[in-house]
């Protein structure tokens, strides 16, 4: 029965893209799935150079990938790589390429569209470092950043700890959905007031932490005053049933002689002192 099936029929029904190049690196065969994945047919890309120009329009990226490819092929090694390509329509896709040298210096290329897998991996990585409610960083990321900056050249480094004053009252008397609105609005205020390089995290139920590289004591104090002022401004202008307030404490490491986890603990203590004065 197999003799009744043509080789082309078999190749066109595989679950991966197939392309074959001759010793001059001209394409001599592309199956239907390769065209479906990339948009390019055999008439669109005659040779390897044309493929790289079409799939990787950015010259720097194209040169990086092409160089690695040529090195592998020159030594007749298998070449496996996931790359983001530009399809014929301009759509971006992540494709896994598996290139195998075969007889007479021909190349057999397998292509698999892994866009969904890559996007899922990005989503999982994002969720592992972010708080799902506020979309701020989470405690894990914040602690990783403290470790990274500990002993760096970005001193002075300051840390602010913030705690919402009335979130338990809101949750107990008005429900967690309203409590979530308090948290999300808090995240918005902090994100709007701080720099892109500052690390803002939700590290607990009603607790936030801010890591400020190259920021001294006086500047940190000013930032805290701005945060408090913005909370009060929002509180007076909106109809939250319970006061929208935050308690803050901060501490600064002027040099790398002081560890950032020690600074964190001092900022946390200062926050509770300030909270107790209210």
Q: What is the rounded distance in angstroms from the CA atom of residue 91 to the CA atom of residue 101?
A: 29
Upstream peptide bond of 156 is cis (omega within 30 degrees of 0): yes
93 pLDDT above the threshold of 50: yes
Q: How many domains does the chain have?
A: 2
Q: What is the pTM (predicted TM-score) of this model?
A: 0.74
**67 and 43 within one domain:** yes
Structure confidence by residue, pLDDT tens digits, 11-60: 777 779 999 999 999 999 999 999 999 999 999 999 999 999 999 999 99
C-alpha–C-alpha distance, residues 116 and 113, integer Å: 8
Active-site residue flag, 198: no
Predicted confidence (pLDDT) per residue in 146-161, tens digit? 999 998 999 999 999 9
Q: Are residues 143 and 112 in the same domain?
A: no
Predicted pLDDT at 33:
94
| Rounded average pLDDT over 110-118 | 96
Domain span at residue 71?
A: 2-119
- CA-nearest of 173, 208, 174, 177 to 190 is 208
- The CATH number given to whatever domain includes residue 21 is 3.30.450.20
Residue 4 scores a pLDDT above 70: no
- If asked whether residues 141 and 272 sit together in one domain, one would say yes
Helix (H) / strand (E) element for 262: namely: helix 260-276
Distance (Å, whole) CA 266 – CA 215: 16
From the list 131, 163, 206, 268, the catalytic residue is: 206
């Amino acid at each position: 029965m197999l003799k009744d099936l043509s080789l082309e029929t078999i190749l066109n029904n595989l679950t991966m893209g197939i392309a074959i190049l001759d010793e001059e690196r001209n394409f001599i065969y592309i199956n239907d799935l390769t065209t479906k994945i990339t948009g390019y047919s055999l008439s669109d890309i005659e040779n390897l150079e044309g493929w790289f120009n079409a799939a990787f329009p950015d010259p720097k990226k194209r040169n990086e990938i092409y160089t690695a490819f040529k090195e592998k092929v020159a030594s007749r090694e298998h070449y496996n790589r996931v790359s983001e390509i530009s399809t014929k329509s301009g759509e971006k896709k992540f494709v896994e390429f598996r290139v195998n040298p075969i007889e007479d210096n021909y190349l057999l290329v397998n292509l698999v569209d892994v866009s969904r897998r890559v996007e899922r991996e990005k989503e999982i990585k994002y969720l592992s470092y972010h708080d799902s409610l506020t979309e701020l960083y989470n405690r894990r990321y914040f602690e990783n950043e403290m470790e990274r900056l500990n002993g760096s050249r970005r001193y002075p480094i300051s840390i602010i700890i913030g705690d919402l004053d009335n979130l338990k009252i809101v949750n107990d008397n008005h429900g967690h959905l309203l409590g979530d609105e308090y948290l999300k609005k808090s995240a918005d205020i902090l994100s709007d007031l701080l720099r892109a390089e500052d690390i803002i995290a939700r590290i607990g139920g009603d607790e936030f932490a801010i890591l400020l590289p190259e920021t001294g004591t006086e500047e940190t104090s000013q930032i805290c005053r701005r945060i408090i002022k913005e909370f009060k401004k929002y509180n007076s202008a909106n109809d939250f049933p319970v006061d929208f307030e935050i308690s803050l404490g901060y501490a600064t490491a002027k040099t790398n002689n002081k560890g950032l986890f020690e600074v964190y603990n001092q900022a946390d203590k200062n926050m509770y002192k300030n909270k107790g004065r209210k």
